[in-house]
Amino acid sequence: MNFQLSEEHLAVQAAAREFAQKELKPGVIERDSKMEYPYEQIKRMGELGFLGMMVSPEYGGGGMDSLSYVLAMEEISKVDNSCSVIMSVNNSLICWGLETFGSDAQKAKYLPKLASGEWIGSFCLSEPEAGSDATSQRTTAVDMGDYYLLNGTKNWITNGGTSKLHLVMAQTNPELGSRGINCLIVETSSEGVAIGAKEDKLGIRSSDTHTIMYTDVKVPKENRIGEDGFGFKFAMKTLSGGRIGIAAQALGIAGGSYELALAYSKERTTFGKPIHQHQAIAFKLADMAMEIEAAKLMVYRAAWLKDQHMDYVAASAMAKLYASEVAMRHSVEAVQIHGGYGFVKEYHVERLMRDAKITQIYEGTSEVQRIVISREVTTGKPYLP
């Protein structure tokens, strides 16, 4: 097995790190405190190609592999997770879902705008009663002949207030259960689309999260993705890839926390020596380095499996579950190593700790990942390729 990144991968990693450190880090504390959407930063991410990394060049994207995307997500997430979650949704859920399952006309119409950052997309699955349970959709899309009449409410929608396009899961044939669900492309300028208030969140505060209401929205039939009833499969397949992006985000949070803690431990002195020379701190740093390296191997492997067109369902769930737990555990340790300074915004680690928690929740909670993993490993499917 070759664990050495290619020159192309190293270049992507270096470009993302430079962008994050030079253009995202200045102002990140203020944006987080004021819940300011990072308009200028997202515009730059579009210009640099970070919003359509895996989209084919035919549609204006970078044509890169999943590992390149993961490397960029990791570096950006070390600094600004509001920007990285916007990037994740646009790449993993919207662009990938459209290019993989959309019609030629849908791809030609929407992907160039999404890949360039001219438009940002939202993935609309979660509902007030059902959460992320795609089998229990109360949003309905009634077949009216040449269009669907869409009614319902979606919540916890990332990019909800800024996106121009929604991918909406809705029930068309309730008697068919999950096989009656469709995914519809809804432009937010459509009559009947209403955006709720922005959520005041614990973390990722400058990304916008909203409830979306649909009231008698007419959606043309050509805006349905796939055949009638394909919506549930679309959501499951897309979320499996999305988990890799969130795993990379969690890996970045863990790595960013470690880098800040390590640097601080070399600057701060107690009892006449830098605190990293005290065994209590040295052991914390050792555990952080070890578990981050393990998470990195899991995340990179999941991306590799996806690039090889191999089964990555279990691998992505494992990577997302483990990386998110590592992010939570070691962002807390980074605050602890900083002592009182870790509790103030200036040192960045308290923000990373707050951001870490959401990685255990979205794209399916840690409990959901364990359900996915247990289902995969108990069905007789070999986990290792």
Q: What is the pLDDT of residue 27?
A: 97
* pLDDT-derived band at 131, boundaries 50, 70, 90: low
For residue 129, what pLDDT band results from cuts at 50, 70 and 90?
Answer: confident
Assess whether pLDDT exceeds 90 at residue 1.
Answer: no
Pairwise CA distance, residues 149 & 18, whole Å:
46
Q: How far apart are CA 233 and CA 338, in angstroms?
A: 46
Q: Residues spanned by CATH 2.40.110.10 within the chain?
A: 122-228
Nearest to 157 by CA among 85, 249, 49, 52: 85
Average pLDDT, integer, range 83-107: 98
Q: Encode pLDDT of 259-317 as tens digits.
A: 999 999 999 999 999 999 999 999 999 999 999 999 999 999 999 999 999 999 999 99
Stretch 164-185: mean pLDDT, rounded?
96
pLDDT in the model for residue 137: 87
**What does the pLDDT average to over 97-112?**
98
CATH number of 232-379: 1.20.140.10
Q: How many residues does the chain have?
A: 385
Helix (H) or strand (E) holding 237: helix 231-267
Say which of 191, 363, 367, 376 is annotated catalytic.
363
| Residues carrying CATH 1.20.140.10, the chain | 232-379
Residue 363 designated active-site? yes
Tokens 């209590």 belong to 280
> Model confidence over 52-74: pLDDT tens digits?
999 999 999 999 999 999 999 99
**Residue 385 banded pLDDT, cuts 50, 70, 90:** very low
What kind of architecture, by CATH, is found in domain 7-120? Orthogonal Bundle (1.10)
pLDDT digit string, tens, across residues 242-265: 999 999 999 999 999 999 999 999
Q: What is the per-residue pLDDT for 60?
A: 97
DSSP at 25 = S
> And the tokens for 155?
């919540």
> Per-residue pLDDT for 125 more than 70?
yes
Per CATH, the number for 122-228 is: 2.40.110.10
Helix spans in 53-103 (H): 66-77, 81-88, 96-101
CA distances in angstroms from 26 to 20, 32, 50, 245, 335, listed in the order given: 9, 12, 19, 24, 21
